[in-house]
Structure 1
Amino acid sequence: MTNVKTELATFAGGCFWCMVKPFDEMPGIISVTSGYTGGDTVNPSYEDIKKGDTGHYEAVQIEFEPELFPYKRLLELYWPQIDPTDDEGQFFDRGSQYRTAVFYHNDEQRELAENSKKELAASGRFKKPIVTEIIPAVDFYPAEDYHQAFYKKNPEKYKQERVESGRDAHISEHWGAEYTK
């Protein structure tokens, strides 16, 4: 048995249902878990989170092999999935639990995330400022089972959510249709 080096990456991008598929099933991705992070409530439930007063974000935590799928590549997939100029939620999901953030797990991730944010801001792709926060990772609480791999369990509802929320239209407008999933 070989010792495979893995790391964690944690990204908040609005509804976590829509944040799993872009990362899932890529070479070097071990797992993508929907969950909650960044707040004060210990082991929160979805019912707690949807009230919007726990401080938690809906997020995904990705276990990956950096030799096969570098963190920089994760960032390149992350930015097109969100509206980084919206600090009040994402698309039709409004509230603090739907804000965007990159939660870094080490100094290298922090530096790469900050640099990628600066590059995005300088690109001119967006007219408004980039407001996605780059903050230290804290406790991550996996969401309930019915939220995990939602796109596989409920493919029609997943597709409907992406279209009706405006996420796919936004991604297509700013990045191209190849980034819509």
Structure 2
Amino acid sequence: MQNPDAGRYAVASFSGGSFWDLEAAFRRVEGVVSTGAGYSGGTTESPSYSEVSEGGSGHAETVVVGFDPAVVSYRDLLEVFFSAHDPTGWEYEEIAPGGQYRPVIWFHSPEQKEEAEAFCAEMDSSGIYDPPVVTAVEPAGDFWPAEEQHQHYYERLASYFAVRQWQG
């Protein structure tokens, strides 16, 4: 049996600061059908959170977003991303290549690359950001899912405290 939704959804990937924060921002967007926290852009296969945090793997904390382009556009996702991270990189501990919090838009198609580059240029020339936008636009490569405790982190945390409060 064929999946009737095959080809209906698109994928976008973003890095910039903590993947917990980015994932929470995207999960609130109508038309986003899935999110996953993980790691992209490094050299270590199947890295752990501690390996990425220690800095030797070269990975950035990344969120992969599945979305319905009939409901939410890629540009809408770019706008959410820019509202949820620091595109100038000044607030991150490390924005150098290999830094786990570096801001990156990982494109999955030539169209996404073109739109992301145009959006970054538009934001940079808008005068909204000072210092300039340093968010990179790079091809999506391997994505390694983060450990289960990092998926939907804030929802899990809220559930934990709700149970704790109920238990007294």
What is the TM-score normalised by the length of structure 1?
A: 0.79
Match of 2:138 in 1: 135
Match of 1:32 in 2: 35
**Counterparts of 1:8 and 1:62 in 2: how far apart (Å)?**
6
1:61 equivalenced with 2:64 (yes/no): yes
Q: Deviations over 1:47-96 (max 9, x none)?
A: 11111111100010001111111111100111111111126x63xxx231
Match of 2:80 in 1: 77
Moved over 6 A (4+): none
**Counterparts of 1:120 and 1:156 in 2: how far apart (Å)?**
37
**Counterparts of 1:55 and 1:28 in 2: how far apart (Å)?**
31
Q: Deviations over 1:32-51 (max 9, x none)?
A: 10000000111111111111
Amino acid at match of 1:101: V
Amino acid at match of 1:127: D
1:21 is aligned, of 4, 21, 24, to: 24
Unaligned runs of 5+ in 2: 161-168
TM-align CA RMSD = 1.8
Match of 2:150 in 1: 147
**Counterparts of 1:8 and 1:105 in 2: how far apart (Å)?**
7
Which one has a bigger Cα radius of gyration? 2
1:156 positional shift: 9.7
Unaligned runs of 5+ in 1: 158-181
**Counterparts of 1:127 and 1:57 in 2: how far apart (Å)?**
23
Equivalences, count: 153
1:3 is aligned, of 2, 5, 18, to: 5
**Does the C-alpha gap of structure 1 residues 156 and 128 become closer, same or farther in structure 2, counting only changes over 3 Å?**
farther
Match of 1:99 in 2: 102
1:25 positional shift: 4.1
Counterpart secondary structure, 1:3: coil
Amino acid at match of 2:15: A
What is the TM-score normalised by the length of structure 2?
A: 0.85
Match of 1:170 in 2: none
**Does the C-alpha gap of structure 1 residues 15 and 103 become closer, same or farther in structure 2, counting only changes over 3 Å?**
same
Percent of aligned pairs sharing the same letter:
37
Amino acid at match of 2:5: N
1:155 positional shift: 3.4
